[in-house]
A = this chain, B = another copy of it.
Amino acid sequence: MTRKSIHRIHVEFGDCDPAQIAFYPNFFRWFDAASRHYFENCGVAPWREYEKTHGIIGTPVVETGARYHRPTSYGDDLEVHTWIEEWREKGFVMKHELRRDGQLLAEGRDVRVFATRHPADPARIRAVPVPQEIRALCDSDPG
């Protein structure tokens, strides 16, 4: 298992729907933010910087899923616990647990790839092998 990071969320009124609970696509917004913070917490430069030096524009999702155990509503303070469950040749499986006071509210799992712009068409993106320096930063023991 890789390093783990915690991303804090405060649920806002505007995140909630007429059923008074957080609208479920927002959980993916939170997981995506957690994914980016994860890499920054591991010491990887923001993608905007990293693109200049390595061409990598980010880690687009190729597959994602979530299970919702308990609803959350505005005013709640949440934590997203994030780590990498598995490295693959051109990507990785990332796990997110959304918790309130320690209680599990939802869990998500993303399959993501490291992507560069397609040389022939910048509107398309292309998966590239996992950069070993990023993997090393995520695998390293911070202790």
Hey, which bits of chain A sit against chain B, CB under 8 A? 10, 12-14, 16-21, 23-26, 28-29, 32-33, 36, 46-48, 57-58, 60-68, 71, 73-75, 115, 122-125
Copies in the complex: 4
A58 to B23, CA, bound (A): 12
**A125 contacts which chain B residues (CB < 8 A)?**
19, 21, 71
Structural contact, B65 and A63, CB atoms closer than 8 A? yes
User: Which 4 pairs of residues, A with B, have the shortest CB-CB distance?
Assistant: A65-B65, A25-B28, A12-B33, A25-B29
Kindly provide the distance from the CB of A112 to the nearest chain B CB, expressed in whole angstroms. Answer: 10
Nearest chain B residue, comparing its CB with the CB of A12? B33
Residue of B nearest to A32 (CB): B14
**Contact, CB under 8 Å: A64 / B13:** no
Residues of B within 8 A of A68 (CB): 60-64
Task: Among A14, A36, A58, A123, find the residue whose CB has the most chain B CB atoms closer than 10 A.
Answer: A14
A62 to B70, CA, bound (A): 9
* A91 to B20 alpha-carbon distance, docked (Å): 21
| Residue among A33, A64, A122, A124 with most chain B CB within 10 A | A64
* A16-B18, A63-B66 known, 19 other contacts, Cβ within 8 Å: A12-B29, A13-B36, A13-B47, A13-B58, A14-B23, A14-B29, A14-B33, A17-B17, A18-B20, A20-B123, A23-B32, A24-B64, A46-B75, A48-B73, A48-B74, A48-B123, A63-B67, A64-B66, A73-B123
